[in-house]
Amino acid sequence: MDSTGERQLYIVDAFTDTPFSGNAAGVVPEADGLGEKRMLQIAAELKQSETAFLALSNHPDADFRVRYFTPQEEIDFCGHATVAAAWVLGSEYGWAEKAERVVFETNIGLVPVDLLKEDDRLKLVTMTQVAPKLQEIDVTTEEIARLAGISPSDVDPRSPIKLGYTGNWHLLLPVKTREAIDVARPLLPELAAMNRRFRISTTHLFTFDTQDDNYDLYTRDFAPAVGIPEDPVTGAANGALAGYLLLEGIISADSRRLRIAQGHAIGRPGTLFVTVTPGERAPVIQVAGSAHISIKGTLNNAK
């Protein structure tokens, strides 16, 4: 920030290298001195699903403190905004020239992000999420299907409906076909109420029926409880999904890299690369993707 209160601002399309696809996030890389009220005002003004605010961290093992805001409220973690923030630091602030990793201090703990360069340009960023956890949810399959806007017969009985976590809780809903996911019409006010009741950030529909040999999974994500009707490409939810797949024995216990498609149903296609590695205490979940800076500007008098 300079003496006039001006701060740099970026709008970054995450999990894509194509402008105006993937999932857009706001990034304010020099947010030192901004209070919670001002950060919420900025996020509401930008109207992105999430905006990441970076400040210097007092944690000995972190480079930056990051807070995430939707236009409605602060949330503990956001995958695509983490990718966007790391991309700004690596490509605009020279971080990739001096280090191969940046570590973010977040409300859920430390999140390291590796920066991969190719031909002296940032190629990919990979965040290691916190250990995955699962919980049951005491709601019938019929009710969840109704709220998600699909038929109960579209739910895939081979996989359980559960809550998954790698920073936020997500309702993970297995669906038989990509077509059923694409035509889903969730009852957003009712879904928001149910998610608030169980403290769920998003409802995440997934299927192995990708209809594309380049992908392992196809997903779609709804987050009305935090003010986002549909989140195009979700790093946190897909990380939680990968942890669920391993913990439930749906994928093998060997190290596995999943290529996940999301955003196609709303014209913002993106790709996530999720690596699941068994660990001594818990699986290690790493979510990778590229990004594209679509807008660079200045916040005026942002004190």
| Active-site residue (options: 6, 36, 45, 50) | 50
The contacts of residue 45 (CB under 8 Å, 6+ apart) are: none
Taking phi over 0 as left and psi of -120 to 50 as alpha, with beta for the rest, 22 belongs to: left
Longest dimension (CA), the chain: 61
- Residue 50 among the catalytic residues: yes
Phi, psi for residue 146 in degrees, rounded to 5? -60, -45
Eight-state DSSP code of residue 175: B
CA dist., res. 181 & res. 215, Å (int): 15
128 strand-pairing partners: 286
Q: Where are the alpha helices (DSSP H) in 164-297?
A: 178-182, 188-197, 235-247
> Active-site residue numbers?
50
